[in-house]
Amino acid sequence: MQYEILKNPMGLIEFTLNQGEKVTAEAAAMVYIRGNIITETKMRKGGFLKSLKAAALGGESFFVNEFIAQEDNCKLGLTGNMLGDIEVIKIQEEFIVQSGAYVGSTGDLTLDTKWQGFTKGIFGTNMFMLKTIGTGDIFVNAWGGILETKLNPGEKMIIDNYQLVALSSTASYRVTKHGSFKTTLFGGEALVMEIEGPGTVYIQTKNVMEFVRSIIPFLPKRN
């Protein structure tokens, strides 16, 4: 199996599949198929409860599509629903991933939800994140560009809580207030995430909440 990420920052992944190879993808992620590929729609790996949790709590679809090549040199194009990059994360350890970022995966990967609790985590706009189980490649979509940062043991990084795309489980984090009361009230940085290594962090350069705020003044107003 080969793949190429095309057209970032409006990303699309093109897979080249040989007979018997398959890709699992979020519902509605398919853009095109070339060659003899069959599509099987099924619950996520892990059964009914994991599928229900991912749909109800993690913002993902209950069903996924498996695209299985019936001959060599088939082409499959997938995309996400966010206006930004698509990136591949090669999963060898557990990652937590922003809800809604999942596009597709290969290998023996399943997704579960991870509750962060009211005191520990606000991960973007959702108290539930996705947790990877198993190994393989996962393709994620985000707002704007996706940047990868590796933190050494004890090294810390502070990011806006809406900017995190994915984080390896070897790192620890906490949500905290940033700066003074004046910064919180007027500086637009009320909450941040303080991440401590060792670990790998993926961040997005834009976030949907700021995009929404920027267009509100231009929306039609009701009389």
Number of domains forming the structure of the chain: 1
Q: What is the pLDDT of residue 178?
A: 61
Residues 6+ apart with CB under 8 A from 90: 137
Q: Is residue 55 part of a domain?
A: yes
**Is 89 a domain residue?**
yes
Look at 92 and 120; give whichever has higher pLDDT.
92
Q: What is the pTM of this model?
A: 0.79
DSSP letter string over 171-184?
Answer: SEEEEEE-S-HHHH
Q: What is the mean pLDDT of residues 69-86?
A: 94
Is residue 122 one of the residues assigned to a domain? yes
Tracing tokens 């790192």 back to the chain, one arrives at 171
223 occurs within a structural domain: no
CA distance 208 to 206: 7
- Domain CATH number, residue 179: 3.60.160.10
The pLDDT, as a whole number, for residue 182 is 46
Residue 121 has pLDDT above 90, yes or no: no
- Across 69-73, 125-129, 179-183, least confident range: 179-183
Range of the domain at 170: 2-218
86 inside domain: yes
pLDDT of residue 130: 84
Tokens of 163: 């900017």
Q: Is 167 within the bounds of a domain?
A: yes
Question: What pLDDT band is residue 116 in, cutting at 50, 70 and 90?
Answer: low
Kindly state the average pLDDT of the residues 121-138: 73
The string of pLDDT tens digits covering residues 27-53 is 889 999 999 999 999 875 555 445 444
pLDDT of 61 reads 60
Region of poorest pLDDT, from 45-49, 74-78, 94-98, 203-207: 45-49
| Gap between the Cα atoms of 65 and 25, Å rounded | 5
Q: Which residues of 84-113 are buried (b: 16+ CB within 10 A; e: fewer)?
A: bbbbbbebeeebbbbbbbbbbbbeebbbbb
Query: Residue 34: inside a domain, yes or no?
Result: yes
**Is 93 a member of any domain?**
yes
* Residue bearing the bigger pLDDT, 6 or 215: 6
pLDDT of 181 strictly over 50: no
Q: Does the pLDDT value for residue 156 go beyond 70?
A: yes
